[in-house]
Amino acid sequence: MRNVLIAVTTVALMASPVAAKPPLRDVPAVDDALLDLGLADRIRKECPDISARMLRALSYLNNVQSTAKSLGYTSDEIDAYRKSDAEKARMKARGAAYLKAKGVDTSDPQSYCALGRAEIQKSSRIGSLLRAK
């Protein structure tokens, strides 16, 4: 009886799919957080009236990495996601869509400033990474 139970358990384990981790791009706690970090960086680079809260941004980035690790991702998986040209292009496209939806004219630095001030005013995640000069 014991051998039958072991055999049935083994077959059941082999037949059930192993719970695979989704790609980091499908983990909103990581992907959306990095998008916000990238948008804040773009705003501070394009708007002469806004600067970054660098210590807060570094702490934020460390928290994103800690979140990914707590979800079972390794440093190698995080680095592969972070360095992937395909993921960079996808994130750039997401950022461009966000900026367009918010009415930013990419040829006008003041439109970045308007968005940055609005994000700061509403204390969004993006705004929390920025400071008006």
pTM of the model: 0.82
pLDDT of residue 15: 42
User: pLDDT averaged over the chain?
Assistant: 89
Predicted confidence band of residue 18 (pLDDT cuts 50, 70, 90): very low
Assign 115 a pLDDT band (cuts: 50, 70, 90).
very high
Residue 5 has pLDDT above 90, yes or no: no
Higher pLDDT: 132 or 6? It is 132
**Cβ burial, residue 36 (10 Å; 0-12/13-18/19+):** buried
Hey, where are the domains in the chain?
23-132
